[in-house]
A and B are shown apart, each in its own frame.
Chain A
């Protein structure tokens, strides 16, 4: 893992990250794959729910909401 790597739930709003690895196990892992979330995919954090969770992410042109504990299974490198 890169020194600057984060898990997706740590990504600041309005910033983007590149997927390094997905540590989730099936069925979550397969669902993420089906949404096009594979290594090197760019993900942007858009907004959070009223209670601070879940968070909506932009993934391949679609907006997908993930709970913090599910997003924690996705390791990313921040990109500018």
Chain B
């Protein structure tokens, strides 16, 4: 039996992806549209014994091809002839959403309108007469509250009916839209089409929407007035981030300990197994002490903070807070001649810089997109947080006693504020030198706040983010473990390769407040930032394998024995914040820009920034003699 193809269209922030996820479950795969840097998600579902392929089109306001996303959505609906198109609209903002519905109905009659967020609309006192809407549009209309799973059965039935043509939908008739437009005509007649669909939407809404309450969006407006106010906007933003870091730092300690105990217990079993099988000693050392122990380090250091940080961050995202961050910071990005949405791509970078670089697709202007790509690395990703958190905890916060976790959180926060400041300064510099130009126009929708669905947030953030990032780190750390083990164990004239290389780097590294081993660890950490500290520990122990350190106090003693001062810690944190992007990020930058030149620029800009910053810090502190 033929699989029916169903397109899923809609404005951004309508809950389109919630519907996509609810209908297809885990039965989905993502990629790019052929030849385009626009994400393409497809999923399958079975209803009444029939198989359907659901194609999630990019969220757009229009089909009239202002942007790559709109072009992709328009071409799919016009040329791929899906068996049906589901248009998801926001029940709390029907009028603006109907615009897209009417535009799509000028090119295909096989449409189902899914009025989502009916629960939110009801809570806000917005009543929608769905029957009337169905009569006026002459296509099936289904009301849903996708987050609670309400209405999805009816939606499936409607899809089935339209796709198997048991009902023949007639498209709506609007005087200016009497005939079907071809794709080219759509683009050409933008102005008149927009004017007539907007007017038609207004007329329809007047007949189907009744607003019961005085001011339906009052709660959102009050919240916005606090969260974006002159007095509280920025402080609240910093406080929220600080709390997120504090919970991450405090919460991650215990599971980290448990995990590392478990993983090192497993290591002993592995060693025993190798011994029993009579495997040669070098093989045991390479596999168990090289590969396995590197993996154990990465997992036990990274997993707990990620499993706490990502859900918290997704929660803020789910609430609708991130667009407010972009709103609060836009003025500063404008001053830096950059795009306001760069604040959003920067936020993604906190999770993973590669994800942040991919997110830069939302910026249309090529110049501003490049600025966002090049500067994304200035905010620390999850692979670098553990380094910054560990050093902040042991060198600066440890002496403060019970407030240590608060102090550590404040230091991480300071690192991020510094990262944002550097992002703005470098963006401005780039705008005045190699990427000259004036800021393009900026339109940002502030969607209504939504009650987050805590259970789903945890599941999705663990599946989509935590496991993804961890999987990548593990895949990279395993071969890196082999290389590191070999460098530490192959000796030339009485010294390991690692010691030789570190010795070579040492004079330069000292000038920027580091030492040869630290710089070497950063270089070997190119595949994944999270292995920098493990490599460093391994080098200092000179035992040829990464050691297990039970407590942070032991780590501090080890570092002090190797000549560390607070200045070394500060410079290492600075260099962690400002150095080359990791291998995955560089590869992503190449894929997104298709240019080795811009990939090199993205490598050199943060690296030079880091060297200059560390050099100045180290020289000034030494000159003042305060270390």
**Are A31 and B331 neighbours in the complex by a CB distance under 8 Å?**
no
Distance in angstroms between the alpha carbons of A24 and B443 in the assembled complex: 13
Distance in angstroms between the alpha carbons of A19 and B14 in the assembled complex: 26
**Which residue of chain B is the closest to A28 with respect to CB atoms?**
B441
Which chain A residues lie closer than 8 Å to B194 at the CB level?
30, 33-34, 38
Q: A56-B224, A61-B93, A70-B443 are in contact. Are A49 and B61 (CB under 8 A)?
A: no
Q: A49-B228, A63-B445 are in contact. Are A54 and B62 (CB under 8 A)?
A: no
**Are A27 and B96 neighbours in the complex by a CB distance under 8 Å?**
no
**Are B443 and A33 neighbours in the complex by a CB distance under 8 Å?**
no
For residues 307 through 357 of chain B, which have their beta carbon under 8 Å from a beta carbon of chain A? 327-328, 330-332, 334, 340
B66 adjacent to chain A (CB < 8 Å): yes
B64 adjacent to chain A (CB < 8 Å): yes
Distance in angstroms between the alpha carbons of A46 and B18 in the assembled complex: 29
Q: A46-B221, A66-B443, A70-B442 are in contact. Are A53 and B331 (CB under 8 A)?
A: yes
**Are A27 and B331 neighbours in the complex by a CB distance under 8 Å?**
no
Distance in angstroms between the alpha carbons of A64 and B332 in the assembled complex: 19
B92 adjacent to chain A (CB < 8 Å): yes
Distance in angstroms between the alpha carbons of A34 and B199 in the assembled complex: 12
Q: A50-B233, A51-B331, A54-B340 are in contact. Are A36 and B95 (CB under 8 A)?
A: yes
B498 adjacent to chain A (CB < 8 Å): no
For residues 8 through 55 of chain A, which have their beta carbon under 8 Å from a beta carbon of chain B? 24, 27-28, 30-36, 38, 41, 46-54
A6 adjacent to chain B (CB < 8 Å): no
Say what secondary structure dominates the interface of chain A.
mixed
Interface size range on B against A:
35 or more
**Are A62 and B334 neighbours in the complex by a CB distance under 8 Å?**
no
Which chain A residues lie closer than 8 Å to B217 at the CB level?
58, 63
**Are A35 and B61 neighbours in the complex by a CB distance under 8 Å?**
yes
**Are B92 and A61 neighbours in the complex by a CB distance under 8 Å?**
yes
Q: A62-B96, A70-B441 are in contact. Are A49 and B331 (CB under 8 A)?
A: yes
**Which residue of chain A is the closest to B364 with respect to CB atoms?**
A27
The residue among B94, B199, B224, B442 with the most chain A CB atoms within 10 A of its own CB is: B442
**Are B444 and A54 neighbours in the complex by a CB distance under 8 Å?**
yes
Name A67's contact: one of B66, B330, B364, B446 (CB within 8 Å): B330
For residues 225 through 254 of chain B, which have their beta carbon under 8 Å from a beta carbon of chain A? 225, 228-230, 233-234
Which chain A residues lie closer than 8 Å to B225 at the CB level?
47
Which chain A residues lie closer than 8 Å to B224 at the CB level?
46-47, 56, 63
**Are B330 and A65 neighbours in the complex by a CB distance under 8 Å?**
yes
**Which residue of chain B is the closest to A58 with respect to CB atoms?**
B217
Distance in angstroms between the alpha carbons of A34 and B99 in the assembled complex: 8
Name A49's contact: one of B93, B199, B220, B330 (CB within 8 Å): B330
**Are B441 and A24 neighbours in the complex by a CB distance under 8 Å?**
yes
**Are B444 and A47 neighbours in the complex by a CB distance under 8 Å?**
no
Interface size range on A against B:
20 to 34
B191 adjacent to chain A (CB < 8 Å): yes
**Are B444 and A65 neighbours in the complex by a CB distance under 8 Å?**
yes
Distance in angstroms between the alpha carbons of A53 and B329 in the assembled complex: 10
Distance in angstroms between the alpha carbons of A67 and B328 in the assembled complex: 12
Name A54's contact: one of B93, B230, B330 (CB within 8 Å): B330
Which chain B residues lie closer than 8 Å to A60 at the CB level?
93, 95-96, 198, 202
**Are B442 and A67 neighbours in the complex by a CB distance under 8 Å?**
yes
Question: Separation in Å of the A13 CB from the closest CB of chain B?
Answer: 10
Which chain A residues lie closer than 8 Å to B233 at the CB level?
49-50
B195 adjacent to chain A (CB < 8 Å): yes
B604 adjacent to chain A (CB < 8 Å): no
Distance in angstroms between the alpha carbons of A56 and B198 in the assembled complex: 21
Question: Separation in Å of the B127 CB from the closest CB of chain A?
Answer: 14
Distance in angstroms between the alpha carbons of A53 and B328 in the assembled complex: 9
Distance in angstroms between the alpha carbons of A61 and B215 in the assembled complex: 11
Question: Separation in Å of the B611 CB from the closest CB of chain A?
Answer: 32
Name B230's contact: one of A34, A50, A63 (CB within 8 Å): A50
The residue among B62, B228, B229 with the most chain A CB atoms within 10 A of its own CB is: B228
Which chain A residues lie closer than 8 Å to B190 at the CB level?
30, 33
**Are A33 and B191 neighbours in the complex by a CB distance under 8 Å?**
yes
Ordered by A's residue number, 15 sampled pairs between the chains whose C-beta atoms are within 8 Å are A30-B66, A30-B194, A31-B61, A33-B198, A34-B99, A36-B96, A49-B328, A50-B229, A53-B331, A54-B444, A58-B217, A61-B92, A61-B93, A66-B442, A67-B330
Where the two chains meet, the residues of B that have a C-beta atom closer than 8 Å to any C-beta of A are: 61-62, 64, 66, 92-96, 99, 190-191, 194-195, 198-199, 201-202, 217, 220-221, 224-225, 228-230, 233-234, 327-328, 330-332, 334, 340, 364, 439, 441-447
